[in-house]
Amino acid sequence: MGTTPNPNQPLRLGILLSGRGSNFLAIARNIREGKLPNVEIAVVISNVADAPGLSAAKDLGLPTALYVSKARPRADHDADLISCLRDYNVDLVCLAGYMRLLSPGFIAAFPNRILNIHPSLLPAFPGLDAQQQAFDYGVKVAGCTVHFVDEHLDHGAIILQRAIPVLESDDAHSLSERILVEEHIAYTEAVSRVAGGEYEIQGRRYIKRATA
Ligand code: GRF
């Protein structure tokens, strides 16, 4: 089932990140520029103290939280995240370079309410260094995927993908940079689709509901 958007209440995003935060910043910019009407960032949470994305969120004046995950049991760390996200009345959790697997308890706490972006055309090249994996494999088309998060790595129902050709002149670095440009478009588009609520998830398939 899709979300049931309330036109009077903005959809509140909880962003989880561990690093640079360029996908978060693209979403924040698109909200500021009016490209995601009725969506707001409720809180930006990092599990890494010196994540540049966390300081960028502070610079933007957004609410932030830090829960260092290193050496903590996954379930304990995730329980802190769940209560923080609930405190901020988060409707939709967006993983934006969040480099830690979520516990089953976390996924159950936000059923079909967690999105992730992955820099490959899934199901090809899940896991780390997806762009390098794709380059080394010699694919001719690469891209990114925004999907719902389930209990398996880089696996849930796909909302959208954006593809680009791999150029003769590419190396893994230039390919990653060109995929990142697509990521910044794709994540906002996926949030917009989910915020619109006109969809169903049938098995693995994300299906846009026909509008009358
Ligand atoms: C992106 O490539 C994203 O697809 C992957 O992690 C990277 C995060 O980059 N999940 P950024 O922190 O959003 O710049």
Q: Which CATH class is domain 11-208?
A: alpha beta
**What is the C-alpha to C-alpha distance for residues 21 and 46, in angstroms, rounded to an integer?**
10
Confidence of residue 1 (pLDDT cuts 50, 70, 90): very low
Global model pTM greater than 0.85: yes
Mean pLDDT in residue range 31-53: 98
Residue from 117, 131, 155 to probe ligand 1 pocket by mutation (most atoms less than 8 Å from CB): 117
Mean pLDDT in residue range 185-196: 97
Backbone angles phi, psi at 26, to 5 degrees: -65, -40
Mean pLDDT in residue range 169-190: 98
- Tell me the two tokens of residue 141: 């088309």
Active site residue 173: no
- Domain ranges for the chain: 11-208
Atom of ligand 1 nearest to the CA of 117: 4
Burial of 130 from C-beta contacts in 10 A (0-12 / 13-18 / 19+) = buried
